[in-house]
C-alpha cells in the first residue's frame, strides 16, 4: 500500500486507438505487445510496484476481450474491468468506474508507460489538503501541450492553452496521473460525457478547491503510446532498459542457430527459431513462435507471435503482425506487415 493508504487506481482504457490503426484492428490498444507484456500490463506492474492493491480498468471498446485476456494473468494485485455503458470521456468514465470508493484514489490514462514513485505524490497531496493532485512533467517544447501553472507552494493557479512559448518558464504539463478525493466527482453529472482536463479541473479551480501540482523531484520515464511512432519508441526504450520490470532477454526455449548473430539489445520469446547466418538486432523483439529464416536480417522491428521472416529477407523499422510472412529475399522498411 502506498503511503497513508492509497490502495486503488482507476485506469482509463476506453479509447478506440484510432491513431494506431491498423494494429488496433487486430488487438485493442491496451493489449498491444511490448516485449511480450500488453501495453496496459506495463502500467499495472508499475502500480503494483508502488503498493497499489486494486486496479479498476474503465473500459469501453472491446471490454470483454480485455477482461478475458488480462484476468488470466497474476499481476500481483486485484484487477477488475468495468465497462462503461456509453462513451463518458475521462471524468465521466472515472466517476462510473469508481462508484463505491470512499477514500483517496489514483486515476491514470491507460496508454502510458512510466516509472515515477508515487509515495512523494501521496504525501504532497495529503500535506496540501488537496481535492486533487496532478502529476506534472517538464518539457522543452511547450507548443504541443496545455500548461499547468503553479504558485510557489505548488498550488495550481491556472490551466493555459497551447502556446508557442511559456513566458513563466515553468514548462510543466499534465502527465495524466491524478490523485482524487471521491467528493470531487460530485461535480460530474451522472452518466455524462465529461472531461477531467477541460471540465472537471477548471470547475474545481473556479470553486476555490485546492489542486496541487506535483513535479517529482527525480526525473522519470514517461511515454504516451498513442501513435505508431511512440509505440516503436517505447519498444526501443524498453529494450534500452528504462524500466526495471522488463528489458532485453533471450528465452531458453528459443532455438538459435550457432551460425546466427544476435546484436544487442534484443528480446526473444520461447518458440522463436532463428536460422543460420541470420542477424537479429539491434532493437528487435520476437514474440512466441516467430521464425527468422536462413540469412535473414531483422533490425529495429517488432515481430508479433507466429509471424515469419523468409530466407534472405531484410526487415528494418517494421511491425510484423501475427501470421504475416515476409517472403524470401524481400527487403522492406518502415512498414506494418499484415497477413495476406
Q: Are residues 163 and 262 in the same domain?
A: no
How much is the pLDDT for 192? Answer: 86
Classify residue 180: in a domain, yes or no: yes
The domain boundary, picked from 218, 239, 260, lies at 239
Q: Which residues, including other chains, have CB under 8 Å from residue 239's CB and lie 6 or more apart?
A: 35, 247, 248, 265, 266, 267, 282, 283, 285
How much is the pLDDT for 85? Answer: 87
Place of cell 495550481: 156
Q: Are residues 175 and 223 in the same domain?
A: yes
Report the CATH number at residue 192. Answer: 3.90.550.10
Q: Are residues 159 and 207 in the same domain?
A: yes
Q: Are residues 253 and 189 in the same domain?
A: no
Classify residue 159: in a domain, yes or no: yes
Q: Are residues 280 and 231 in the same domain?
A: no
The domain boundary, picked from 179, 205, 239, lies at 239
Residue 33: beta bridge partners?
Answer: 38
- Kindly report, residue by residue over 95-132, the tens digit of the pLDDT: 999 998 999 999 999 999 999 999 999 999 999 999 99
Q: Are residues 263 and 230 in the same domain?
A: no
**Number of domains within the chain:** 2
Report, as ranges of residue numbers, the positions in the chain whose pLDDT lies below 70: 1-5, 166-167
Cβ atoms of 155 and 201 closer than 8 Å = no
Q: Are residues 157 and 296 in the same domain?
A: no
Q: Are residues 209 and 186 in the same domain?
A: yes
How much is the pLDDT for 5? Answer: 65
Report the CATH number at residue 312. Answer: 2.160.10.10
How much is the pLDDT for 288? Answer: 97
pTM given for the model: 0.93
* Structural domain harbouring 46: 3-239
Q: Is 293 helix (H, G, I), strand (E, B) or coil?
A: coil
Q: Are residues 198 and 232 in the same domain?
A: yes
Which set of grid coordinates corresponds to residue 19?
491513431
Classify residue 244: in a domain, yes or no: no
Cα–Cα dist 225/235, whole Å: 10
The domain boundary, picked from 239, 272, 302, lies at 239
Q: Are residues 59 and 183 in the same domain?
A: yes
Q: Are residues 267 and 215 in the same domain?
A: no
Amino acid at each position: 500500500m502506498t503511503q497513508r493508504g492509497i490502495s486503488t487506481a482507476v485506469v482509463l482504457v476506453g479509447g478506440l486507438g484510432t491513431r494506431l490503426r491498423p494494429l488496433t484492428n487486430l488487438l485493442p490498444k491496451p493489449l498491444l505487445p511490448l516485449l511480450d507484456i500488453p501495453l496496459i500490463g506495463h502500467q499495472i506492474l508499475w502500480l503494483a510496484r508502488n503498493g497499489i492493491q486494486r486496479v479498476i480498468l474503465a473500459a469501453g471498446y472491446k471490454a470483454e476481450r480485455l477482461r478475458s485476456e488480462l484476468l488470466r494473468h497474476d499481476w500481483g494485485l486485484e484487477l477488475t474491468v468495468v465497462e462503461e455503458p456509453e462513451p463518458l470521456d475521462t471524468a465521466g468514465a472515472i466517476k462510473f468506474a469508481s462508484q463505491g470508493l470512499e477514500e483517496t484514489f489514483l486515476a491514470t490514462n491507460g496508454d502510458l508507460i512510466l516509472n515515477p514513485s508515487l509515495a512523494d505524490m501521496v504525501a504532497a497531496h495529503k500535506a496540501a489538503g488537496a481535492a486533487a493532485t496532478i502529476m506534472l512533467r517538464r518539457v522543452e517544447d511547450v507548443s504541443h501541450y496545455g500548461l499547468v501553472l503553479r504558485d510557489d507552494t505548488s498550488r495550481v493557479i491556472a490551466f493555459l492553452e497551447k502556446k508557442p512559448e511559456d513566458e513563466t518558464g515553468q514548462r510543466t504539463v499534465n502527465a495524466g496521473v491524478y490523485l482524487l478525493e471521491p467528493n470531487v466527482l460530485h461535480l460530474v453529472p451522472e452518466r455524462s460525457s465529461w472531461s477531467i482536463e477541460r471540465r472537471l479541473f477548471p470547475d474545481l479551480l473556479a470553486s476555490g478547491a485546492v489542486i496541487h501540482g506535483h513535479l517529482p523531484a527525480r526525473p522519470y520515464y514517461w511515454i504516451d503510446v498513442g501513435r505508431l511512432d511512440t509505440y516503436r519508441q517505447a519498444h526501443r526504450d524498453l529494450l534500452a532498459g528504462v524500466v526495471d520490470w522488463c528489458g532485453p532477454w533471450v528465452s531458453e526455449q528459443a532455438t538459435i542457430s550457432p551460425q546466427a548473430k544476435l546484436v544487442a539489445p534484443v528480446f526473444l520469446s520461447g518458440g522463436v527459431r532463428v536460422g543460420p547466418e541470420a542477424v537479429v538486432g539491434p532493437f528487435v523483439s520476437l514474440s512466441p513462435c516467430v521464425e527468422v529464416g536462413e540469412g535473414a536480417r531483422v533490425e529495429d522491428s517488432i515481430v508479433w507471435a507466429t509471424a515469419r521472416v523468409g530466407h534472405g529477407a531484410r526487415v528494418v523499422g517494421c511491425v510484423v503482425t501475427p501470421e504475416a510472412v515476409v517472403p524470401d529475399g524481400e527487403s522492406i522498411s518502415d512498414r506494418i506487415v499484415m497477413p495476406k
